[in-house]
């Protein structure tokens, strides 16, 4: 049984850097201190612990740009290799990268680990500078796709995501993605990093925008399902902020909250729709949005 952990205390961080030095620096005769670089404070660090709490793997990720995450310093204790632990630590770092809003992960892989990264979906892009002037490396990259979400009607969902990013550019800047659609529920996610305020939580204006887009997306997909089309506009929106958003921003709209007169649209009239969207932080709803939308018939 292995667990993924974040080293936080002074002792945990000391053990973490010692482990990194032991498996990534000492075998090549590099001095203590060479295991650290200038990105440590802006990086997210993870370890894999065995049942006794001993570190068996480590790794680090930081953002190069708001879209691209750099994965570095992955190592697994020699006695635990080829047991899938490399994949566990890499998977954990990729999830952190997604949560930060990245859509691509890059790594400069030593020659000896290229097969490992290739087995985990990375592709070689080009030669990378030698590590500490000695070890040959290749730059590899991977598109980060979320496999854990259930997405029904993937074609319409891809169309919706494209429409948001092309027609409502703020959605891309906010890192908004359609995470899940089940015909009954839609869930979007955003990047906290890209929407952060002075307090390190999500900016209230971004919460409103994510809620509006989520409701808009629910209507878009409902129209597709009913074979209808029209222009969706927000007529009125109200939001109550109960608590701050401190983790990955999630917004969810349930079909039960949707009240629509779709039959009016079929008759060529504009269709009123009211719905509610919850903003979720971890497992708690921390803001609620009530929206009144209109779908305007498209004139031939």
Q: Is residue 110 a contact residue for ligand COA (CB under 6 A)?
A: yes
With a CB cutoff of 8 Å and minimum separation 6, the contacts of 109 are: 116, 117, 122, 128, 137, 138, 139, 140
Instruction: Give yes or no for residue 86 binding ligand COA (CB under 6 A).
Output: yes
Structure tokens at 37: 């670089």
x/- contact string, 4-43, with ligand COA (CB under 6 A)? -------------------xx-------------------
The stretch near ligand COA (CB under 6 A) out of 10-18, 74-82, 183-191, 238-246 is 74-82
Query: Which residues have CB under 8 Å from 298's CB, separation 6+?
Result: 229, 230, 231
The nearest distance, CB 147 to ligand COA, in angstroms, is 17
CB-CB contact of 66 with 191 (8 Å): yes
CA distances (Å), origin 229, targets 108, 167, 169, 174: 47, 16, 22, 27
Residue nearer to ligand COA on the CB measure, 29 or 227: 29
Selected range binding ligand COA among 113-121, 195-203, 215-223, 284-292, rule: CB under 6 A: 113-121
Residue 112 interacts with ligand COA (CB under 6 A): yes or no? yes
Residue from the set 16, 17, 19, 116 that interacts with ligand COA by CB under 6 A:
116
List the structure tokens of 1: 């049984």
**Single residue of 48, 55, 76, 287 touching ligand COA by CB under 6 A:** 76
Q: Enumerate the β-bridge partners of residue 187.
A: 180, 252
- Residue 73 backbone dihedrals phi, psi, to 5 degrees: 55, 40
Binding site for ligand COA (CB under 6 A): 23-24, 74-76, 81-87, 109-110, 112-113, 115-116, 119
């Amino acid at each position: 049984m292995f667990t993924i952990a974040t080293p936080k205390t002074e002792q945990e961080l000391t053990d973490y850097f010692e482990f990194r030095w032991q498996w990534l620096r000492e075998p090549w005769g590099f001095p203590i201190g060479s295991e650290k670089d200038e990105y440590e404070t802006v990086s997210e660090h993870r370890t894999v612990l065995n049942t006794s709490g001993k570190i068996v793997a480590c790794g680090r990720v930081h953002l190069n740009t708001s879209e691209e995450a750099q994965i570095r310093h992955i190592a697994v204790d020699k006695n635990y290799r080829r047991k899938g632990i490399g994949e566990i630590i890499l998977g954990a770092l990729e999830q952190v990268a997604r949560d930060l809003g990245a859509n691509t992960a890059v790594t400069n892989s030593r020659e000896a680990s290229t097969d490992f990264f290739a087995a985990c979906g990375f592709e070689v892009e080009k030669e990378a500078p030698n590590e500490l002037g000695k070890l040959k490396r290749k730059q590899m990259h991977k598109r980060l796709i979320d496999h854990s979400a259930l997405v029904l009607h993937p074609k319409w969902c891809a169309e919706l995501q494209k429409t948001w990013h092309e027609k409502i550019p703020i959605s891309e800047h906010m890192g908004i993605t359609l995470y899940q659609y089940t015909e009954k529920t839609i869930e979007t996610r955003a990047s906290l990093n890209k929407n952060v305020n002075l307090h390190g939580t999500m900016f209230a204006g971004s919460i409103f925008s994510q809620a509006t887009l989520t409701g808009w997306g629910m209507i878009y997909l409902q129209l597709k399902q009913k074979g209808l089309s029209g222009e969706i506009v927000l007529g009125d929106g109200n939001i109550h902020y109960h608590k701050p958003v401190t983790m990955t921003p999630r917004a969810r709209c349930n079909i039960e909250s949707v009240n629509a007169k779709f039959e009016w649209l079929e008759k060529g009239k504009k269709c009123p729709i009211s719905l509610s969207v919850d903003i979720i932080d971890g497992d708690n709803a921390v803001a609620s949005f009530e929206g009144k939308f209109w779908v305007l018939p498209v004139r031939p």
